[in-house]
Amino acid sequence: MFEVPLRDNAHLIPLEVWHAQEFAEHMDRAREHIRPWVGPAFVTTGVDEARGTLSRYAERQAADGARIFGIRLDGTLVGGVMFTDFSAAFGNCEVGCWLEPSAEGHGLITRASTVLLDWAFTTRGLHRAEWHCRADNDRSSAVAKRLGMTLEGVRREAWPFRGVRYDKQVWAILAPEWKVGSGKP
């Protein structure tokens, strides 16, 4: 299968059902760190739940929908990026991400998201890509800015987590704003 180099020791790979064991081990390392920032269904426990998550993405990809990709750093799965929503018919997608603490600060999410956006805009011809994050997730907002996205609004108290409702930012970039073929906004 393919892998896309992100830097010397980091690669982007498609995550498939047969990666369930590796994904489960990664979630054991990442779970508590990512839990406040991602949807609850994504934070799996054990191989069976990991297989279920990867199966759902496989089914959606088979229908030309959502897709999930892993980031390996020095051969270890440390996070990933995904199209949480992908509609060729409407020309829209939403990109999401997650990362273990040990892999933060290396630009991996920005590089991997650039690969996804470049493919969505230049290969698939989509018109709009969104990025959603909790308003207090400064690291995620910074990625959206680096990708050249515009903060379009804040959905007040739209993100429930442990009995508290948080504001959610909606960022977006349009195909004409993306520099075709450059891999960068």
Residue 181, pLDDT > 60, answer: no
pLDDT of residue 1: 58
Q: For 87-132, what is each residue's pLDDT tens digit?
A: 999 999 999 999 999 999 999 999 999 999 999 999 999 999 999 9
**Alpha helices, DSSP H only, in 35-155?**
46-62, 108-118, 138-146
Share of the chain above pLDDT 70, in %: 96
Q: What is the pLDDT of residue 43?
A: 86
Domains of the chain: 4-177 (3.40.630.30)
pTM of the model: 0.93
Residue the block writes with tokens 């739209």: 158
154 Cα distance to chain centroid: 20
68-86: average pLDDT: 97
Tens of pLDDT, residue by residue over 148-172, are 999 999 999 999 999 999 999 999 9
For residue 36, the model assigns a pLDDT of: 87
- For residues 74 and 11, what is the distance between their CA atoms, to the nearest angstrom? 9
pLDDT value of position 184: 52
Higher pLDDT, 183 or 177: 177
pLDDT band at 182 (very low <50, low <70, confident <90, very high): very low
Query: What secondary structure does DSSP assign to 66-88, as a single string?
Result: -EEEEEEETTEEEEEEEEEEEET
